[in-house]
Structure 1
Amino acid sequence: MPLHVGSLTEGVQVGTVPSWLTVATGGVLVGASFLFTSLLTDHEGIRAVNAWHAVVPTTATLRGGVVAATRALGVLGLVLVVAASALGPMEPTSNFAILVVWVGWWAGFAMSTYLVGNAWPILNPWRTLAAALPGDGARSLPERYGAWPSVVGLLALVYVEVVSPLASDPRLLGVVVVAYSAVTLGGAGRYGDEWFERVDPVSRVFRVYGRLAPIQSTASGLDVRLPGTALVAGATDDGDRERVRGHEAETGAEAGAVAFVVALLWATTFDGLVTTPAWNDLAPVVVEAGVPAAVVYLAALLGGFALFRAAYRLAAERSRARVDSRLSPLAIERWFAPALVPIAAGYHVAHFLGYALSLSPALTGVLAHPLGGAGVPQIAQLPAWFGTVELGFVVVGHLLAVWVAHAVALEVFPGLLRPIRSQYPFVVVMVAYTMTSAWVVGQPFVSPAYL
């Protein structure tokens, strides 16, 4: 029986708001926010908001010291995770590896990448080790692969996390970490930084999330911006504008980049979906009919991704038709893909914040005693109203997505009405995404018990 990540809290979280109300509220708020933003047609004013930033300069000495310390911390953390997975206690809420990987890293650190800034390029222990190992990394990945290896990698990681007891078995987690390390270091030794740019799904997840953050790292220091405005800047700079207009939008090194953002959105949704009572009622029926449970999960993972991808692609095609644009649907997909990132981040924080807060006392204990001896693990009890806070993060993410889409549309399509009309199909898809996410968040958490 696999234990999903959330099952570490050993509880059933019951929402305080009826499911139908959370779903309806989320959809209505996103629709209303679009109506409001459609009234904002001052191009220069919107550009000024998105362009605002303040640079915090840093000295080379300071940057060098912070980078060295961060890299050392990342490598030390990896070593301790592997050691604790083999030598630490088997109780998941007392094991350093389990708590650091799932609570400290995948929940806490991941949230920091979009709420604060992306430090993963420096903290990444595999990148640090790869730079120190022999191998020139001179080979290049075929350009036709684009970002698709990272799409496959992300879906594979989510599948393994859901169908195996990675969240409860420290020994298995250690095996997976060692195997991932071997593949990553081997790939980086062969392809260099290109491996982390185009293949490694973890690096791409944090890079995508990092574009939403208010702090961006630049050569001159830290660039402080309003949350989400870096997404608009990245989608509408001159170089990217020319690239997405052409054939390179889906055939060059960034082929599959849109699919990755969709996969990131679906992966977090799927991670929560499999803990809902509805799924726990449906899955056993299918399994009892003779379909292997592993196949059921794989079909749901791939089918849901295909559905999310098809919905977004249809929105791009309808957007093009509504404004009679000469841009290809693929180019329009590429333009508006950044608007999906706040949705993915909003659902991620809604899905993991309560989990991280609940297990933060246990995490604090194992940080002081990595190989055991931390005593009885403590799990914090969250108030009943916390479910409403989680729903709020989903809605905030979608509202920010509407702003990003509106700002991008004003840059892509000339005039006053064409940018607004171009967003209609995307708003419909966003409302559907919102209602799906709100429904999942509003469901009680149930530990899977059917594999």
Structure 2
Amino acid sequence: MSGRTEGGAVERRPSRLAFLATALASFLPTPALAHASDRGHVLLLPTGFYIAGGALAVAVSFLVLALLPPTALDRFWRRRLPMLTFGDAPRTLFSLISFAGYILLVAAGFLGSRDPLSNPLPLVIWTLLWAGFTLLQGVLGDLWSWLNPWYGPWRVASRVLGLPADDEKRSRLPNSLGYRPAFVLFFAFAWFELIDPAPDDPARLAFAAGMYWLVSFIAMLIVGYDDWSKRGEFLTVFFAMVARFAPFERREGHLSLCWPGAKLLTAEPLPPSGTAFLLLALSSVSFDGLSKTFFWLGLFGVNPLEYPGRTALIGIGSFGLVLTFVLLAAVFALAVFLGQRLAGDKHSFGEVVGLLVWSIVPIALAYHIAHYLAALLVDGQYALVALSDPFALGWNLFGTANMMVEAGVVAGAQSAWWLWNLQAGVIIAGHVLAVLVAHSLAWRLHRQPSRAALSQLPLTLLMIAYTIFGLWLLATPTAG
């Protein structure tokens, strides 16, 4: 039975039309977002018990650490297992290969398919790079320093132009700027991803990606690669911070295995702009989940069952992105301030905030993984298909052009069960590790274990609250 005649007239019976429209809508290709699993099934799971259990796990970890001798934990963190030794010689080659791939992706954005699920550029940028590579950085360490598309071209340009490769004679990025350039660029990136009406449009994304590479490259030539990549280029700054959590440590060419988060304990306090950068990394992902909830849309009188689209919500989204960051920064600063008062801390507030903010890294990484997991599982398959035919010319470069995408991996009751358990487990583990790191950092500031524990009480309460908030985000109904 056809729903349309040759002239385009629809069936007269409304019930049949509604049934047909619903059936067709279920087969339309739409981008797989972070909440691709069936929320109806998730809500039927005992999510309340998970939330209570997660909060309890974080609280118990604080109590255990408060009673644990600092020397025992210090010995735990210091353990290293030597593995192998390698040099930096291939780094330039890997970066040049990455740059060539970047150029091809940008070209595909302009010349390839207009469908975001068929063009490799949005799939690689949003799924493989932002969702998938962040996970690799947190697990394997700083791969980005070898694969970023700037280092190789910068080395070549330095030789061609006769610029000193060691940056000694080049103008420097003023220290007074801190991480402000990276923060501004990261905020612009978050706004483009979360608020812009069409961040998946291949041509629009290709223009943004191409301009960003060019501007960053010019900045590296002016102020030096090290200065700009460490405090200006936000991807390098973000990935370097995430890599501090990884259980692999490389010093002077020697690779060793350490406990996850051990490298965070040797970090120096961040300036206020660096602290803001790390908090933005967490707040932006949190707002991405919050912005689609029935609760958030209801605050502004938006019917979540009649989602108006991103264009109609630009103002609300921009306000929410800023508000989420400001609230998180204020609550984090308040928790640190109250902890100082409880412990009678004489260190400067800026130093303590800049040091303890490193404990946010496990939480930010956990939220990133949990939030983008479903998109990575589904859109990652679309990326494999699109990469085999980047320009929509019928190629099959990697033998994956005809691969069937299994979207069912995140659909249905069984998938919802394992996906929820994995996401919830990651978030709870991230907060427990954050408590562990925060306590160890506090012992750098306080020689008396009782003072260190007191200083961490408000921050632990914040982490318990954020655990509840994160699990609620995963379970609550969403629109779009």
Question: Which category of TM-score, normalised to the shorter sequence, fits these structures?
Answer: 0.7 to 0.9
Deviation at 1:166, TM superposition (A): 4.6
> What's 2:455 paired with?
422
How far, CA to CA, are the matches of 2:36 and 2:78 in structure 1?
46
| Residue 380, structure 1, aligned to residue 386, structure 2 | no
> What's 2:383 paired with?
363
User: 8 Å contact 1:360–1:380 — kept in the other structure?
Assistant: no
Provide, for residues 168-221 of structure 1, a one-character-per-residue CA deviation record: whole Å limited to 9, x for no partner.
Answer: 311111111112112211211211121111111111110110000011222132
> What's 1:139 paired with?
171
| Residue 39, structure 1, aligned to residue 67, structure 2 | yes
Q: CA RMSD in A?
A: 2.6
How far, CA to CA, are the matches of 1:219 and 1:151 in structure 2?
29
> What's 1:100 paired with?
124
Deviation at 1:165, TM superposition (A): 4.4
> What's 1:30 paired with?
58
| SS at 1:125 equivalent | coil
| SS at 1:355 equivalent | helix
In 2 relative to 1, CA 7–292 (structure 1 residues): closer, same or farther, beyond 3 Å? closer
Provide, for residues 36-70 of structure 1, a one-character-per-residue CA deviation record: whole Å limited to 9, x for no partner.
Answer: 222212x222111100112223244xx523x2442
| Residue 328, structure 1, aligned to residue 355, structure 2 | no
> What's 1:74 paired with?
98
User: 8 Å contact 1:85–1:173 — kept in the other structure?
Assistant: yes
> What's 1:124 paired with?
148
> What's 2:187 paired with?
155
Deviation at 1:376, TM superposition (A): 7.2
> What's 2:274 paired with?
257
Q: 5 Å matches for 1:397-416?
A: 397-416=430-449
| Aligned partner (choices 245, 251, 255) of residue 222 of structure 1 | 255
Provide, for residues 120-174 of structure 1, a one-character-per-residue CA deviation record: whole Å limited to 9, x for no partner.
Answer: 1111102322333366472222221111221222122111111224553111111
Deviation at 1:377, TM superposition (A): 5.8
In 2 relative to 1, CA 7–377 (structure 1 residues): closer, same or farther, beyond 3 Å? farther
> What's 1:295 paired with?
315
Bigger mean CA deviation after superposition, 438-447 or 214-223: 438-447
User: 8 Å contact 1:11–1:445 — kept in the other structure?
Assistant: no
| Residue 394, structure 1, aligned to residue 419, structure 2 | no
| SS at 1:90 equivalent | coil
Gaps of 5+ in 2: 1-28, 395-400, 410-414
Deviation at 1:22, TM superposition (A): 4.2
In 2 relative to 1, CA 285–443 (structure 1 residues): closer, same or farther, beyond 3 Å? closer
In 2 relative to 1, CA 380–394 (structure 1 residues): closer, same or farther, beyond 3 Å? same
How far, CA to CA, are the matches of 2:431 and 2:103 in structure 1?
38
How far, CA to CA, are the matches of 1:338 and 1:92 in structure 2?
36
Provide, for residues 66-122 of structure 1, a one-character-per-residue CA deviation record: whole Å limited to 9, x for no partner.
Answer: x24421331122012101101211222211112111221111111100122121111
How far, CA to CA, are the matches of 1:411 and 1:47 in structure 2?
10
> What's 1:51 paired with?
78
Provide, for residues 209-261 of structure 1, a one-character-per-residue CA deviation record: whole Å limited to 9, x for no partner.
Answer: 00000112221321211111111132xxxxx4xxx5xxxx6xxxx44111111
| Residue 186, structure 1, aligned to residue 214, structure 2 | no
| Residue 266, structure 1, aligned to residue 286, structure 2 | no
Amino acid at match of 2:453: I
Amino acid at match of 1:310: A
In 2 relative to 1, CA 18–444 (structure 1 residues): closer, same or farther, beyond 3 Å? farther
Q: How many residues align?
A: 423
How far, CA to CA, are the matches of 1:281 and 1:198 in structure 2?
39
Amino acid at match of 1:54: L
How far, CA to CA, are the matches of 1:132 and 1:282 in structure 2?
53
In 2 relative to 1, CA 375–278 (structure 1 residues): closer, same or farther, beyond 3 Å? farther
Gaps of 5+ in 1: 235-239
Deviation at 1:446, TM superposition (A): 2.9
> What's 1:349 paired with?
369
User: 8 Å contact 1:87–1:371 — kept in the other structure?
Assistant: yes
Deviation at 1:398, TM superposition (A): 0.4
User: 8 Å contact 2:135–2:369 — kept in the other structure?
Assistant: yes
Runs (4+) of structure 1 exceeding 6 A deviation are 8-11
How far, CA to CA, are the matches of 1:299 and 1:210 in structure 2?
31
Aligned-residue identity in percent? 26
User: 8 Å contact 1:33–1:399 — kept in the other structure?
Assistant: yes
How far, CA to CA, are the matches of 1:309 and 1:37 in structure 2?
25
User: 8 Å contact 1:9–1:379 — kept in the other structure?
Assistant: no
Deviation at 1:21, TM superposition (A): 4.1
User: 8 Å contact 2:32–2:379 — kept in the other structure?
Assistant: no
How far, CA to CA, are the matches of 1:229 and 1:220 in structure 2?
18
In 2 relative to 1, CA 130–255 (structure 1 residues): closer, same or farther, beyond 3 Å? farther
User: 8 Å contact 2:34–2:374 — kept in the other structure?
Assistant: no
Provide, for residues 413-432 of structure 1, a one-character-per-residue CA deviation record: whole Å limited to 9, x for no partner.
Answer: 11231111111011011112
In 2 relative to 1, CA 312–10 (structure 1 residues): closer, same or farther, beyond 3 Å? closer
Deviation at 1:305, TM superposition (A): 0.6
Amino acid at match of 2:347: L
> What's 1:88 paired with?
112
Provide, for residues 253-286 of structure 1, a one-character-per-residue CA deviation record: whole Å limited to 9, x for no partner.
Answer: x441111111111111112222223234344549
| Residue 316, structure 1, aligned to residue 336, structure 2 | yes
In 2 relative to 1, CA 376–165 (structure 1 residues): closer, same or farther, beyond 3 Å? farther
| Aligned partner (choices 251, 272, 275) of residue 292 of structure 2 | 275
> What's 1:115 paired with?
139
Q: Which structure would you say has the larger Rg? A: 2
Bigger mean CA deviation after superposition, 368-377 or 337-346: 368-377
How far, CA to CA, are the matches of 1:11 and 1:92 in structure 2?
20
| SS at 2:117 equivalent | helix
In 2 relative to 1, CA 420–343 (structure 1 residues): closer, same or farther, beyond 3 Å? same
Amino acid at match of 1:164: D
What TM-score does the superposition give when structure 1 sets the normalisation length?
A: 0.87
Amino acid at match of 1:29: A
Bigger mean CA deviation after superposition, 351-360 or 20-29: 20-29
